[in-house]
């Protein structure tokens, strides 16, 4: 008795499947599967608790500019330089901004005229710090890009004439004394 029921169910299943294969739903189903596969490929895999990999979130414009500047870390100082062979402070900022489609002056005291002046308490990643490092000069002659801000420190990347492209702290006596202004351009 059980065999006739199984035979009936099997034949009903075959008929149903064959009808589905001729219908337009197959195209929609196939298209839906393709779209689902594309979405799954595009999704970011989030780490499991045991997975210690970092999740990368989309970078802000400031993060991208900072990354570009950091690629030059260790580059020797060269007055007027704008390449990996040698670079000065304003050259570093100029190249880092230009790489991301931002047109900016090439000279530090001209850069200081751009953007909006802000107080140190308002500084965030991507802002510019301007300095007067010469006792004889009357104008700004050095610039750095803020890479990290914490409660008690502001770190910036710049091209030092003695050590090349590097990250320094505004808490260092030399830089805190030479500081003139901070500006936001993003």
Top mean-pLDDT range of 21-30, 54-63, 108-117: 108-117
Our answer to whether residue 109 is catalytic in this structure is no
For residue 147, give both structure tokens.
């890479």
Average pLDDT, the chain: 81
Candidates 3, 22, 52, 89; catalytic one? 89
Is the pLDDT at 183 greater than 60? The verdict is yes
Our answer to whether residue 89 is catalytic in this structure is yes
Q: What span, in angstroms and rounded, lies between the C-alpha atoms of 72 and 161?
A: 14
Query: Domains of the chain: which residue ranges?
Result: 2-42, 61-184
Average pLDDT, stretch 171-177?
96
Quote the strand ranges of 61-178, DSSP E.
82-83, 86-87, 116-118, 128-131, 142-150, 153-160, 164-169
Is the pLDDT at 61 greater than 80? The verdict is yes
Query: Other CB atoms closer than 10 Å to residue 88's CB: what's the count?
Result: 25
Candidates 52, 100, 109, 142; catalytic one? 142
Domain 61-184 matching CATH 3.90.1720.10: the answer reads yes
Q: Which residues contact 1 (CB under 8 A, 6 or more apart)?
A: none
pLDDT-based confidence at 137, cuts 50/70/90?
Answer: confident
The dihedral built from the CA positions of residue 179, 101, 60 and 47, taken in this order, carries a sign that is: negative
Q: What span, in angstroms and rounded, lies between the C-alpha atoms of 131 and 179?
A: 4
User: pLDDT of 79-113, one tens digit each?
Assistant: 999 999 999 999 999 999 999 999 999 999 999 99
Task: Check residues 29 and 91 and name the one with the higher pLDDT.
Answer: 91
Candidates 22, 52, 109, 158; catalytic one? 158
The dihedral built from the CA positions of residue 129, 135, 139 and 141, taken in this order, carries a sign that is: negative
Our answer to whether residue 22 is catalytic in this structure is no
Is the pLDDT at 37 greater than 90? The verdict is no
């Amino acid at each position: 008795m059980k065999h006739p029921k199984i035979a009936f169910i099997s034949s009903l299943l075959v008929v149903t499947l064959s009808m589905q294969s001729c219908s337009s739903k197959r195209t929609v189903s196939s298209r839906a599967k393709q779209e689902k596969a594309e979405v799954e490929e595009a999704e970011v895999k989030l780490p499991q608790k045991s997975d210690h990999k970092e999740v990368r979130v989309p970078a802000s414009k400031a993060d991208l500019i900072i990354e570009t500047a950091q690629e030059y870390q260790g580059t020797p100082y060269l007055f007027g330089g704008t390449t990996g062979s040698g670079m000065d402070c304003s050259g570093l900022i100029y190249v880092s901004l230009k790489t991301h489609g931002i047109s900016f002056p090439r000279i530090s005291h001209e850069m200081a005229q751009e953007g909006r002046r802000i107080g140190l308490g308002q500084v965030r990643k991507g802002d510019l710090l301007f300095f007067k490092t010469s006792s004889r000069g009357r104008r700004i002659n050095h610039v750095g890009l803020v890479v990290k801000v914490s409660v008690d420190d502001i770190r910036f990347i710049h091209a030092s004439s003695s050590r090349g492209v590097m990250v320094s702290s505004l808490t260092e006596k030399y830089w805190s004394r030479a500081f003139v202004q901070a500006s936001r351009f993003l």
